[in-house]
Amino acid sequence: MMNIGEGMNMDKVLFICKHNAGRSVIAESIATQLWSPAIKVASGGSHPVGSINPVVKQFLEDHSMPIPHNYSHSWEERTAFQPDIVFILCDTLHKERAPMWLSGGMRINWQVDAFDNKLSDRDKYAHCHRLRDSLYRRLSITGELLQSDISKEELEIKLIELKGM
């Protein structure tokens, strides 16, 4: 059996949340930090807001985590990336039609709660901790799976199972 990250060419991962200002940025940062450089990661959103949430950026800086980019990206900006796996991190995107260029990749829906913009910065920062912890657990396992000798079908089942972590 072939290694997912190499032989099956499952080596490009895209994280999506609606605004690409929080959840997907934290996920991209964690994956960049944890995974082999052979696995390329990016993030985007269906409705980018222009900049990364300043609390998220401060959180990443405070925890010596990479800041993947300084402004939010549209998923349309990622068309040339052609991801093999797309992690959708919010329920609001579950009912949206994926762009045609996403249709060939594996789509994994993980619900990760967004912060309420009415929260104080202190509460948003605490939410970043919870997001990081949840995503870190999932992405640690995902990184191992991407380097393992399992089929694409087995990989998809295992990634879907991580939704509840």
Give the integer Cα–Cα distance in Å for 164 and 109.
11
The model's pLDDT over 13-30, given as tens digits with 9 standing for 90+, comes to 999 998 999 999 999 999
Using a pLDDT cut of 90, give the percent of the chain over it. Answer: 61
Return the minimum-mean-pLDDT range out of 98-107, 133-142, 153-162: 98-107
Q: Which residues pair with 106 in a beta bridge?
A: 85
Hunting for tokens 């009415």 — which residue is that? 118
pLDDT band at 7; cut points 50, 70, 90 = very low
- Give whole-number Cα distances, 42 to 112, 122, 131, in Å: 17, 27, 18
Give the integer Cα–Cα distance in Å for 14 and 89.
11
Nearby residues of 103 by Cβ (< 8 Å), 6 or more positions away = none
The model's pLDDT over 88-118, given as tens digits with 9 standing for 90+, comes to 898 655 555 556 666 677 889 898 888 888 9
Q: Give residue 76's pLDDT.
A: 85
Sign, Cα dihedral of 153, 113, 18, 21: negative
The model's pLDDT over 37-79, given as tens digits with 9 standing for 90+, comes to 999 999 999 889 999 999 999 999 999 999 999 899 998 888 8
CA 14 centroid distance within chain: 6
Whether pTM exceeds 0.75:
yes
CB neighbours (10 Å) of residue 146?
Answer: 26
CB neighbours (10 Å) of residue 112?
Answer: 22
Cβ–Cβ < 8 Å for 14, 76: no
pLDDT band at 1; cut points 50, 70, 90 = very low
The model's pLDDT over 52-61, given as tens digits with 9 standing for 90+, comes to 999 999 999 9
